Amino acid sequence: MPPDDDYWRWRNAEDDRRWRADRAREQTNRLYDALREGNEDIARWITGVPPAGAGRSGPAEPESAAPPTAGEQFREHKQALLFNLEWVPDFLLPRELCLDWAGRVEPLDLEQAETGLPVAEALAAEYRQAADRHEPRVTEVSRRIEWDYYVARVGREIDWLVALFRHVLSFG
């Protein structure tokens, strides 16, 4: 049997190798699912390839000097929320909860801010409650890393929707 220091060094390296293999397998399965469903943008995102048309050759188009409208920001953050809800791993938040939230976010429209704000605020409250209930302990390092990557994004996007609804109502 090897000395204790060598054994633990080997054991830590073996655990690290297994964790990386599991992550690679999970990533590959997501890539296959995206390709099978014909979702090229997600497949590009998973592999780190820029979205279609991002690497155009030729003169660069000048960016618009005008700031984005509230409608454009709303569409951007709504789509980002739906995307992030789809990709939250089941072991972080229950799948049923994410599907319920996605079903309630999908019909939201900035033109109907009076009805959308209460829905978005309810989602924010449910998110905070779910985050308090399902947040992993600090000692669960790998789950904590995943949590900070996936679940925190969902909370930020919900907060954006609430802020945009409030912005529109304040000027309406």
What pLDDT sits at residue 156? 94
Best CA proximity match to 166, nearest among 68, 78, 74: 74
**pLDDT tens per residue, range 41-88:** 888 877 777 766 655 554 555 566 788 898 999 999 999 999 999 888
Taking only the tens place, the pLDDT of each residue in 105-149 is 999 999 999 999 999 999 999 999 999 999 888 888 888 888 888
List all residues 6 or more positions away from 74 whose beta carbon is below 8 Å from its beta carbon.
110, 161, 164
For the stretch 80-111, pLDDT in tens is 999 999 888 888 899 999 999 999 999 999 99
Please return the burial class of 124, using the count of CB atoms within 10 Å of its CB with bins 0-12, 13-18 and 19+: middle
Six-digit token string for 31: 């890539």
pTM of the model: 0.63
